[in-house]
């Protein structure tokens, strides 16, 4: 099948370009995003504008971050969009989303994300969680399952713990490959991430939590005691009332936060 999808644009695999073409799916996503002028609306990877057009139609201004220079040019000359868009050409992974916040206005961030960078992009966005009201992302279904997984399941891992530390995670919609051109090889799904206003399990230093969780999941088949032996002693696990003979996927988010806070206290 040809990858030439729209007015001569050829989808670029290296930019993860799978353009949404199913109007029903587009309407459902826009409904979930609930665009409004009380938030700074931000789209990652607008592409040919499948979500950009209906969202921009509902608001005064939409900020977009797009890596592909050809697509940026098309947006700059788009007859309807050009007056509504603030366009940043560049890599969303390196983009300082904090600069977009306006006095009294949090961001609503959304996008049909390039799947090859979705996990690092998620970690990058968590750093701006306090300035974000909602995030809606189209992702590989497998990533949505990881984000929303419960302890004790195969999908539960580093991404799950960090996402659920920052956000309430709500799967919204499953989307089949035929809804895109070109069709991706995997199933997709839309997730809603709602950063907590007040974190249910506050951590004293999120960098410590991140390091601890990465270390814990280094070897999934080993016990927590084994994976964390350079960080926590048997005595620490007793104090924390965490069973160190369990595997990393059996440990809840508040338990990881409690371990990280103990490490922070030890450092002080
Ligand atoms: N939003 C469009 C749609 O739904 O049809 C396009 C989605 S397509 C899956 C991903 C989009 O992200 C493409 O426009 C691609 O060029 C852009 N993109 C890829 N890597 C990017 C990056 N690192 N930073 C910003 N945009 C990127």
Cα 185 to middle of ligand 1, angstroms: 17
CB of 16 within 6 A of ligand 1: the answer is yes
The Å distance, Cα 113 to ligand 1 centre, comes to 6
Expressed in angstroms and rounded, the spacing between residue 98 Cα and the centre of ligand 1 is 20
**Domain boundaries in the chain?**
5-195, 206-266
Predicted local confidence at residue 150, as pLDDT = 98
- Decide which of 1.10.8.100, 1.10.3720.10, 2.60.120.10, 2.60.40.2470 is the CATH code for 206-266: 1.10.8.100
pLDDT digits (tens, 9 = 90+) for 133-160: 999 999 999 999 999 999 999 999 999 9
Q: Tell me what pLDDT residue 4 has.
A: 56
The domain defined by 5-195 carries CATH number 1.10.274.10: no
Span 23-48, mean pLDDT?
97
User: Above 70 in pLDDT, residue 117?
Assistant: yes
What mean pLDDT, rounded, does the chain reach?
95
Q: List strand residue ranges (DSSP E) for the chain, in order.
A: 4-6, 9-10, 19-20, 40-44, 62-66, 85-89, 107-112, 132-140, 167-175, 180-181, 188-195
Name the residue among 72, 69, 75, 132 with its Cα closest to residue 100: 132
Residue 45 Cβ inside 6 Å of ligand 1? The answer reads yes
Ligand 1 atom with the shortest distance to the CA of 111? 1
Do 5-195 and 206-266 agree at the fold level?
Answer: no
Indicate if ligand 1 lies below 6 Å from the C-beta of 53: no
DSSP 3-state of 90: coil
Q: Is 204 helix (H, G, I), strand (E, B) or coil?
A: coil
pTM of the predicted protein model: 0.95
What residues are designated binding site for S-adenosyl-L-methionine? 18, 20, 45, 66, 91, 112
Tens-place pLDDT, residues 155-211:
999 999 999 999 999 999 999 999 999 999 999 999 999 999 999 999 999 999 999
pLDDT band at 1, cuts 50/70/90? Answer: very low
Contacts of 125 (CB under 8 A, 6+ apart): 97, 109, 132, 135
Closest residue by Cα to residue 68 from 53, 81, 84, 49? 49
């Amino acid at each position: 099948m040809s990858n030439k999808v729209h007015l001569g644009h050829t989808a670029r695999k290296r930019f993860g370009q799978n353009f949404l073409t199913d109007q029903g799916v587009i309407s459902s996503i826009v409904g979930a995003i609930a665009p409004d002028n009380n938030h700074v609306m931000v789209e990652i990877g607008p592409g040919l504008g499948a979500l950009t057009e209906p969202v921009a139609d509902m608001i005064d201004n939409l900020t977009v971050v797009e890596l592909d220079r050809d697509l940026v040019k098309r947006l700059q000359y788009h007859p309807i969009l050009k007056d509504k868009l603030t366009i940043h050409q560049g890599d969303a992974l390196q983009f300082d989303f904090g600069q977009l916040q306006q006095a009294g206005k949090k961001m609503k961030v959304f996008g049909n994300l390039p799947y090859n960078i979705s996990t690092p992009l998620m970690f990058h966005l968590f750093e701006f969680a306090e300035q974000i009201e909602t995030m809606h992302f189209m992702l590989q279904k497998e990533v949505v399952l990881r984000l929303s997984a419960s302890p004790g399941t195969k999908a539960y891992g580093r991404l799950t713990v960090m996402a659920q530390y920052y956000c309430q995670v709500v799967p919204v919609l499953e989307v089949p490959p035929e809804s895109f051109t070109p069709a991706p090889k995997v199933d997709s799904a839309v997730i809603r991430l709602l950063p907590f206003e007040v974190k249910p399990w506050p951590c004293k230093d999120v960098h410590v939590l991140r390091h601890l969780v990465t270390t814990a999941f280094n070897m999934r088949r080993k016990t927590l005691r084994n994976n964390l032996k350079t960080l926590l002693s048997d005595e620490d696990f007793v104090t924390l009332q965490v069973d160190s003979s369990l595997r990393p996927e059996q440990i809840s988010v508040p338990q990881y936060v409690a371990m990280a806070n103990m490490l922070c206290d030890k450092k002080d």
